[in-house]
Amino acid sequence: MELSFQTVMSQVMLGLNNGVFYAILSLGLAVIFGLLNIVNFAHGALYMLGAYVALLGFTSLGPLIGMPDFHLNYWAALIVAPLVVGAVGIVIEKTMLSRLYKFDHLYGLLLTFGLALIIQGVFTNFFNVSGDPYEAKPDVLSGAVNLGFMMFPKYRLWVIVISLLVCFGTWYVIERTKLGSFLRAGTENPELVKAFGVNVPLMITLTYGYGVALAAFAGVLAAPIYSVSPVMGSEMIITVFAVVVIGGMGSIMGSIVTGLLLGMVEGFTKVVYAPASSTVIFLIMVIVLLVKPAGLFGRES
């Protein structure tokens, strides 16, 4: 098979496009894990929920509130969906997760697994599993742009750019600002931070809300690319778990970089040997477990 530079680059760019989703989602998992010590199994379901907020806001919200001409447009959805899902997350944290901190961490995983089943189950009952198209992609972002070495869809480029901004913005806030220093201190020693008068429970709640809002943001970004379906989250979350195992959840930058790289590797595999592209991330996970069990950026406690 001829491997032209262009075929490889176009698949790698499309892979990078998947990679930014992995990056945002694993970043959210890492932020939540850092402070709550919980692996949020519901992350995929909340990503799906974000996409549905955008879809339903566009198609059904208007008729529902008696204004058939009202459509929640794409830009508004980018703000609204994370807020809605963030609020859902805050309710989840306040009413359920907060009761589990004193028990084994596995219970958090089990609880969020149950929540994922509930959310996915509800949507499976009302929507087609094969998915619905989201047709509110703004005109500004349609068409293609010439990158010099290839033509690339403008929308996908936008997704890559905005996602990278959000990822590195989050990294900057956590690693370089005063607010972030509270967060990092809370990760290390919550009792001590409490003693300094920081409202740690509030911080935990908001962190969870922010983490799942990121997932919803990714969901809205994904909506115009993939069809919006009730199972989009469960397919995503298992891959993201593998990404997290490879990168280790100890480092924010680590989870971003691992997500991006693995997306590109997946794209590259599509050119070299397409059937392996759906499993290549899992195979890399196997290799990492054999060679560096703690993960590429992990610190095994």
Partner 1 sequence: MNRLLWIILILIGLVAPFFVYPVFMMKLLCFALFASAFNVLLGYSGLLSFGHAAFFGGASYITGHLVKVSGLTPELGVLGGTVFAALLGYIIGSLAIRRQGIYFAMVTLALAQIVYFIALKAPFTGGEDGLQGIPRGNLFGLIDLNQSYTVGGSPLPLNLYYFVFALFCLGFWIIHRTIHSPFGQVLKAIRENEPRAVSLGYKVERFKLIAFVISAALAGMAGSMKSLVFQLASLTDVSWHTSGEVVLMTLLGGVGTVLGPLVGAFTVVTLQSELSSVGSWITVIIGITFVICVLLFRRGFVGELGRLLKKSL
Contact positions toward partner 1, by CB under 8 A?
33, 39, 96, 99-100, 103, 105-107, 109-111, 113-122, 124-125, 234, 238, 241-242, 244-245, 275, 278-279, 282-283, 285-286, 289-290, 293-294, 300
Please report how close the Cβ of residue 92 comes to partner 1 at its closest, in angstroms.
10
Is 69 or 300 the residue whose CB approaches partner 1 more closely? Answer: 300
Please report how close the Cβ of residue 46 comes to partner 1 at its closest, in angstroms.
14
Supply 121's token pair: 């189950």
Is 193 or 244 the residue whose CB approaches partner 1 more closely? Answer: 244
Is 107 or 158 the residue whose CB approaches partner 1 more closely? Answer: 107
Please report how close the Cβ of residue 159 comes to partner 1 at its closest, in angstroms.
25
| CA dist., res. 179 & res. 80, Å (int) | 24
Please report how close the Cβ of residue 125 comes to partner 1 at its closest, in angstroms.
6
Is 77 or 240 the residue whose CB approaches partner 1 more closely? Answer: 240
Please report how close the Cβ of residue 107 comes to partner 1 at its closest, in angstroms.
5
Is 64 or 106 the residue whose CB approaches partner 1 more closely? Answer: 106
Please report how close the Cβ of residue 281 comes to partner 1 at its closest, in angstroms.
8
Is 56 or 111 the residue whose CB approaches partner 1 more closely? Answer: 111
Residues β-bridged to residue 146: 151
